[in-house]
Chains A and B, each alone.
Chain A
Amino acid sequence: MTSIQLKNIKKSYGKTEVIHGIDLDIPSGEFCVFVGPSGCGKSTLLRMIAGLEDVTAGDLLIDGARVNGISAAKRGLAMVFQSYALYPHMSVRKNLSFGLENINLPKAEIKSRVEDAARMLQIDGYLDRKPGQLSGGQRQRVAIGRAVVREPRAFLFDEPLSNLDAELRVATRGEISALHQRLGNTMIYVTHDQVEAMTMADKIAVLRAGRLEQFGAPLELYNAPANMFVAGFIGSPRMNFLKAGLIAGAGQTILRLQDGQDIALSTDRFGRPASRPAVMGIRPGDLEITDSDAPLHMQVTAVEQLGSESILFGTSPCDEELVVTARGQTAVRVGDRLNLRPNPDAIHVFDAQSEESLALQ
């Protein structure tokens, strides 16, 4: 079993630094997802772990041993590329066995490993085809198979599903999870799709512009985002953000919205923070539509009926955007004015300046 540790890892291309010092501890056997917007450095980080890019500064440890100077071939990791990178001139069988032949495994062993992997991934019917004669999904399986036969210490995936259609993506997602269950290897999986991250990960690392924003279990990130970026990135539809003032009163702390409405914050969750400009965060599902008076109001501008739930888009009186999800189907129409009551236990408060969460951890 394999643990992977990153200690203040930095990466520069020439003078531009793209990874600004990342610390990460991926325990053995965990399914860790790197997620973040495009260009944030996920692939770069993964490629450094793989050994395909040099580490500019910091230490990279696999099972406690520093591997900065060790070549990709010797790290014992397997990688599945976004483009699959199957060898187009080799048959599927040869694609799978190439890596095994390179480490001089006995022929019989290679054969049995290839056949086992092919059976497990249901590609045993196409072993003699060339990659060009396979569908996208089949190629994907071959790419995974090529990693599996190596019996690597850890698997690295770089957006392996981004070339598949929506349906196949969901199915393959399940298969990769199942593969993890069965093999129990450490896996690092890069995606920019937070749904993939939430559904597959044991731990998610949220990256932004070369920095680690938060590292934790999916629900931890959902329930207690460390900052506005993570709060906005995790969860769909996105969390609502409303500008507010934090006012530390005598008995309680009050969040005063721009239109003058006050919301009391529980001391259990927030302690007693000092007064300051703040941002209130509330997920669309944590707003309840009510007839009675409520602190939030919304003028509906669009309605999306999904059947099992409805998504209402609108603006607050101060022209801030609001999204609300309601269970089931709704009679609300565009132009309606709604009263919204936030679930007090689901309110997030962020410092307006630093965007850090003010909730007690």
Chain B
Amino acid sequence: MWAFLTRTQGRGRLTLVDWLSYGYLAFGFLLIFIPVVWLGLNSVKTAFQIERQDISLIPGDYTRVARATVQGPDGKRIFFITDLPDWVLNWRDLSAADQAAQDVAGFLSAQTGDAALALRSHLGQTEPQALAVIAAQGLPDWLPRYRTMSASAKAEVNIEAALAGLSPANDRLLREFTGLYPGARLTSQILVSAPDPQTGEIRQWGVSNIDIKRAFTPARPVDAVNAKVTKLPTASLQADRNVQIAWENYIDPLSGSSYGVTVDFTRCLTNSVIVTIVGTAITLLINSMAAFALSKYKFRGQVMFLALILATLMVPPTITLVGVFKAIQATGISGSLWGIIIPGSATPAGVFMLRQYMLTLPDELIEAARMDSASEWKIFWKIVAPLALPAIAALGILSIVWRWNDLIVPLVAVATVKEAYTIQLCLLEFRGEHTSQEHYRLAMTMVSLIPTTLVFVFLQRYITTGIANSGMK
């Protein structure tokens, strides 16, 4: 391998041409490879990182800190809560199962003061606790609905009377719950260390994001309550990154446990595999039989057929799209996988390519087979098809790649039927009910690249054998 890679055209020293060749090779390699690497790295970023639009190449995240905003009797209090466990910081990005697995009540009971208020609302405990209080104290049954009631409906009930006599803690809980009082908020911020512009002393700060294009980054010191926003020079910020590979981007959709997405990825994958295999098989069969007839039989109208096939090559597929849609609708295969498979079954380019290859097979072979009492069917299967294998393999690769990557035909054929989605439609439609779930989409795009790569690796062998056999090209 190494000997091959370091082979030079002259003896000994590398010549200028060698260097240029290496340079060209490396350039071409990078050109093809960089986007794939970029996709690969992005596909293992956490949902959190992707939503932040963190363009860093390294999957993982900055060390974070929680910033709490709590409304109190004497105004807003903004302060930082350090040393929170990851699951608390990332609570909103956890799946329902992961959330259920945490001991939320236990964690909250250990908290005190304003931090407890902020965490209670962050961890979604305001509602269950409020409902428990309503039930325990026998409060009016419209209270749980109060937040969503219309203004006129709210005027008919007396909320203040209902809340009278509660303990201060419960009063606050229900006021937050009914929306009378702004709830406490917790946001995750990047923890940076930077010198204080006034004192020059190194302090820890919370910033919402780091954009190196901006000269200054607004920040709040972590160790102060209600501190003013300070503008720190972005260049002076020091942030810690922890590399974190989010395999769950792959595992969740593939195991069907991705939270709140609208399409079933494994189903799409299966559909695509079926469409690709069946479609390619049909394409190869139809195209090679047509090519056989056009290259080895003489019949009336042969030239016209060929001209017709070539003429269809000139028509851009987008033009026929409406026709295809109508045809699929009319034949009733719309919405099933057949609707995707059948429209692309016979490809003029494929017929033409195979015909050109079959023309190079000597007629005498077919005549010899006829003398050997072979039926025409047998001649096709036993003589022509095996000998045209290099061309068939090449067409096979093209067909597989095309089928796998095709978006247009599935869009036309099955857009309304989620069960028949192929992988490309899936990727297009892949999003959560409320959020975009971009992390899953990136990972699944990566998965969608694997089959075509494998197919190429396995089938290219046949193409090269063919070239070696014929001794041409």
Is B74 in the interface zone, CB < 8 Å from A?
no
Which one, B367, B373, B386, contacts A103 given CB within 8 A? B373
Chain A residues whose C-beta falls within 8 Å of the C-beta of B383 in the assembled complex: 87
Tell which of A24-32, A69-77, A268-276 binds the partner. Answer: A69-77
Contact A52 B370 (CB under 8 A): yes
Q: Does A78 contact B (CB under 8 A)?
A: yes
21 CB-based A-B contacts, threshold 8 Å: A47-B367, A50-B371, A72-B367, A72-B371, A73-B372, A73-B374, A79-B367, A79-B368, A81-B364, A81-B367, A83-B364, A85-B364, A87-B369, A87-B382, A88-B469, A98-B374, A98-B382, A99-B372, A99-B373, A102-B372, A146-B372
Q: Cβ of A99: which chain B residues have Cβ within 8 Å of it?
A: 371-374
A150 at the binding interface (Cβ < 8 Å)? yes
B161 to chain A, nearest CB (A): 94
Which residues 107-135 of A sit at the B interface, judged by CB distance below 8 A? Answer: 132
Within 323-366 of B, Cβ neighbours of A (below 8 Å) are at: 362, 364-365
7 A-B pairs closest in CB distance:
A99-B372, A85-B368, A85-B364, A73-B373, A102-B373, A72-B370, A89-B386
Which residues of chain A are within 8 angstroms of B378 by Cβ–Cβ distance? 102
Bound-state CA distance A299–B370 (Å) is 57
**Across the interface, which residues of A come within 8 angstroms of B134, CB to CB?**
none
Residue from A85, A89, A103, A150 within 8 A of B362 (CB atoms):
A85
Q: B393 in the interface, Cβ–Cβ < 8 Å? A: no
Determine how close the nearest CB of chain B comes to the CB of A60; give it in whole angstroms.
16
How far does the alpha carbon of A78 sit from the alpha carbon of B386 in the complex, in Å? 23
What distance in Å separates the Cβ of B285 from its nearest Cβ neighbour in chain A? 19
Assess the A73–B371 pair: CB atoms within 8 A.
yes
Minimum CB–CB distance for B407 against chain A, Å: 38
Most buried by A among B365, B369, B373, B378: B373
State the CA gap A82–B367 with chains docked (Å).
12
Q: How large is the interface on A (under 10, 10 to 19, 20 to 34, 35 or more residues)?
A: 20 to 34
Q: Tell me, yes or no, whether B387 is within 8 Å of chain A by CB.
A: yes
CB–CB A89/B387 < 8 A: yes
Find the B residue at minimum CB distance from A52: B367
Contacts of A47 in B (CB 8 A): 367
Within 8 A of B (CB), among A85-104: 85-89, 98-99, 102-103
Q: In the complex, A170→B388 CA distance in Å?
A: 36
A102–B362 alpha-carbon span in the complex (Å): 21
Q: Are B370 and A73 in contact (CB under 8 A)?
A: yes
Inter-chain CA distance A72–B371, complex, in Å, is 6
**A residues lining the B interface (CB < 8 Å):** 47, 50-52, 71-74, 77-79, 81-83, 85-89, 98-99, 102-103, 132, 146, 150
In the complex, A83 Cα to B361 Cα: how many Å? 13
A residues less than 8 Å from B362 (CB atoms): 83, 85
Q: B residues within 8 A CB of A81? A: 364, 367-368
A105 vs B262: C-alpha distance in the bound complex, in angstroms? 61
Residues of A within 8 A of B382 (CB): 87, 98
Closest partner residue, chain B, to A79 (CB atom): B371
Closest to A83 in B: B364
- Chain B: minimal CB distance from A68 (Å): 16
Q: Which residues of B contact A98 (CB under 8 A)?
A: 369, 372, 374, 382
Q: How far is the CA of A89 from the CA of B382 in the complex (A)?
A: 9
Contacts of A146 in B (CB 8 A): 368, 372
> Which residues from 377 to 398 on chain B have a C-beta closer than 8 Å to any C-beta of chain A?
378, 382-383, 386-387
* Nearest-neighbor residue (CB-CB) of B470 within chain A: A88
A85 B365 Cβ-Cβ under 8 A: yes
Q: Distance (Å) between the CB of B332 and the closest chain A CB?
A: 42
CA distance A82 to B375 in the complex (A): 23
17 extra interchain contacts, Cβ-Cβ under 8 A, other than A73-B372, A73-B373? A47-B367, A52-B371, A77-B371, A81-B367, A81-B368, A82-B364, A83-B362, A85-B362, A85-B367, A85-B368, A86-B368, A87-B365, A87-B369, A89-B386, A89-B387, A99-B374, A102-B378
Q: How far is the CB of B463 from chain A (nearest CB, A)?
A: 15
Best-buried of A47, A72, A132 by chain B (most CB within 10 Å)? A72
Measured between beta carbons, the chain B residues less than 8 angstroms from A73 are 370-375
Q: Which of A79, A103, A146 has the most CB of B within 10 A?
A: A79
- Interchain CA distance A78-B382 in the complex, whole Å: 19
A339 to B372, CA, bound (A): 60
How far is it, in angstroms, between the C-alpha of A83 and the C-alpha of B366 when the chains are bound? 12
Q: Do residues A71 and B370 form an inter-chain contact, with CB atoms below 8 A? A: yes
Q: Measured between C-beta atoms, what is the minimum distance from B467 to chain A in Å?
A: 14
- Could you say which residues of chain B place their CB within 8 Å of the CB of A87? 365, 368-369, 382-383
CA distance A73 to B378 in the complex (A): 12
Q: Which residues of A contact B371 (CB under 8 A)?
A: 50, 52, 72-73, 77-79, 99
> What are the interface flags for B65-90 relative to A under an 8 Å C-beta threshold, 1 for contact and 0 otherwise?
00000000000000000000000000
* Distance of A83 Cα from B368 Cα, bound (Å): 11
**Cβ of A150: which chain B residues have Cβ within 8 Å of it?**
372
Quote the shortest CB–CB distance from A29 to chain B (angstroms).
Answer: 21
Residues of A within 8 A of B373 (CB): 73-74, 99, 102-103
Q: Chain B: which residue is nearest A130 at the CB level?
A: B469
Do A88 and B387 have beta carbons less than 8 Å apart?
yes
Query: Which of A74, A78, A88, A132 neighbours the largest number of chain B CB atoms within 10 Å of its CB?
Result: A88
> A82 to B383, alpha carbons, bound, how many Å?
19
Q: Which residue of A lies closest to B374 (CB)?
A: A102
Tell me which residues across on chain B come within 8 A of A103, comparing CB atoms.
373
**CB of A106 to closest CB in B, whole Å:** 16
Beta-carbon nearest neighbor of A82 in chain B: B364
Complex CA distance for A98 and B368, rounded to whole angstroms: 11
Distance of A262 from chain B, by nearest CB (Å): 56
Query: In angstroms, how far is the closest chain B Cβ from the Cβ of A251?
Result: 61
Closest Cβ–Cβ distance, residue A187 to chain B (whole Å): 15
Q: How far is the CB of A218 from chain B (nearest CB, A)?
A: 28
Instruction: Give A78 to B374 CA distance when docked, in angstroms.
Output: 13
Docked CA distance A322–B368 (Å): 46
Bound Cα distance from A81 to B363, whole angstroms:
11
Residue on A with the closest CB to B365?
A: A85
List the B residue with the shortest CB-CB distance to A143: B368
Q: How far is the CA of A271 from the CA of B371 in the complex (A)?
A: 50
Residues of B within 8 A of A132 (CB): 469
Set of chain A residues within 8 Å of B372, measured between Cβ atoms: 73, 98-99, 102, 146, 150
Q: Which of A51, A52, A78, A132 has the most CB of B within 10 A?
A: A52
Nearest A-chain residue to B386, judged by Cβ: A89
Question: How distant is A98 from chain B, measured CB to nearest CB, in Å?
Answer: 5
Chain B: which residue is nearest A149 at the CB level? Answer: B372
How far does the alpha carbon of A51 sit from the alpha carbon of B372 in the complex, in Å? 12
- Cβ of B378 to closest chain A Cβ, rounded Å: 7
Distance to closest chain B CB from A79 (angstroms): 5
Shortest distance from the beta carbon of A117 to any chain B beta carbon, whole Å = 14
Give the distance to chain B from A50, nearest Cβ to Cβ, in Å: 6
* CA–CA, A47 and B364, complex, Å: 11
B344 to chain A, nearest CB (A): 29
A99 to B, closest residue via Cβ: B372
